[in-house]
Amino acid sequence: MKNYYYFLGVKENASEEDIKKAYRKLSLKYHPDKNPDDDFFESRFMESKEAYEMLIDAEKRRIYDDNLSHEQRSYRPNLPPTIKSFAVNKVRVQKGEEVIITWQTQNADIVKVLPFGLQKGYGEKVIRITEFKDGQFQLLLHVTNSLLNKTVVKALVITEIFENKSEEFRSDVENLFKPEKPTVNNPEGIPRSIRILLFLTFLAIILAAIFQNR
């Protein structure tokens, strides 16, 4: 059974105004006119619309809440959730290429494949990857047993490949010199490659000074 509250990102006791605000926000974000020929955005827009139409009608919502409550009571496994499998048929793809995701879980009443939302406990999904972040696309499988309040997460990373090798090389070089997240030992976020180069340069100067003074 679909969880329409999850689709809209609201609590189960959300007010009518909360539901309207959530739907307006999502409809603007995922509207097909802003994201033409993108199956993911079209699917999310239709999910949001379906959820809104169900929850904004008082009588439909009452019946839906009764059914949702019954389902949640009827399936409450008391064993920790597990991920039996989570795989993708290709881990290196070009932008716009299709991949197939498969998963199988156990002892979970809430299963999410991010960024695609709620799913059944097992299944298969065909997706087309149109955007990568730093040459990668990450998938997360969240498996939760709400009775035990326990969650297991597994990640899959798909790497972008390029038709043009020079473009791939350029991307690798850009990532090599990309600033890192600031830390205590590296507050300026200097890329590791630069830090290694500076260290080697400093070491060469010291060695040269030592041999010169002999």
- Report yes or no on 15 lying in a domain: yes
For residues 32 and 66, state if they share a domain. Answer: yes
User: Do residue 153 and residue 189 come from a single domain?
Assistant: no
pLDDT of residue 147: 78
Could you tell me if 98 and 133 lie in one domain? yes
Virtual CA dihedral for 143, 147, 150, 152, nearest 10 degrees?
A: -10
Which of residues 83 and 148 earns the better pLDDT score? 83
Is the same domain home to 42 and 97?
no
| pLDDT greater than 90 at residue 118 | no
CATH number of the structural domain spanning residue 63: 1.10.287.110
Q: How many CB atoms neighbour CB 137 within 10 A?
A: 21
CA–CA separation, 147 and 209 (whole Å): 68
- 172/103: higher pLDDT: 103
In a domain, 171, yes or no: no
Same domain, 93 and 66: no
Return the closest-CA partner of residue 120 out of 101, 147, 98: 101
What's the pTM?
Answer: 0.47
Q: Could you say which of 163, 187, 202 is where a domain stops?
A: 163
CATH of residue 113's domain is 2.60.40.10
Do the Cβ atoms of 104 and 85 come closer than 8 Å? yes
Q: Are residues 31 and 102 in the same domain?
A: no
The reply to whether 168 falls in a domain is no
Task: Write out pLDDT tens, residues 9-43.
Answer: 888 889 999 999 999 999 888 888 877 777 778 88
> Is the same domain home to 57 and 110?
no
- 115 secondary structure, DSSP code: T
49 with 116, same domain?
no
**DSSP H helix total and E strand total for the chain:** 6, 8
Boundary (domain end) residue, out of 124, 139, 163 = 163
88 & 70 share domain: no
Residue 101 within any structural domain of the chain: yes
Q: What pLDDT, on the 0 to 100 scale, is given for residue 156?
A: 94
What total number of domains does the chain contain? 3
Quick count: other Cβ atoms within 10 Å of Cβ 160?
A: 19
Together in a domain, 21 and 66 = yes
Which of the four pLDDT bands, split at 50, 70 and 90, describes residue 81?
very high
Residue 125 falls inside a structural domain:
yes
Is 186 inside any structural domain?
yes
Q: Which of 42, 74, 106 is the last residue of a domain?
A: 74
Same domain as 89, residue 50 = no
Q: Are residues 63 and 118 in the same domain?
A: no
Higher-scoring residue by pLDDT: 53, 121? 53
Model confidence at 76, pLDDT cuts 50, 70, 90, reads: low
The boundaries of the domain holding residue 203 are 177-212
Domain membership flag for residue 170? no
- Is the residue at 172 inside a domain? no
> Can you tell me which residue has the tokens 């998963």?
103
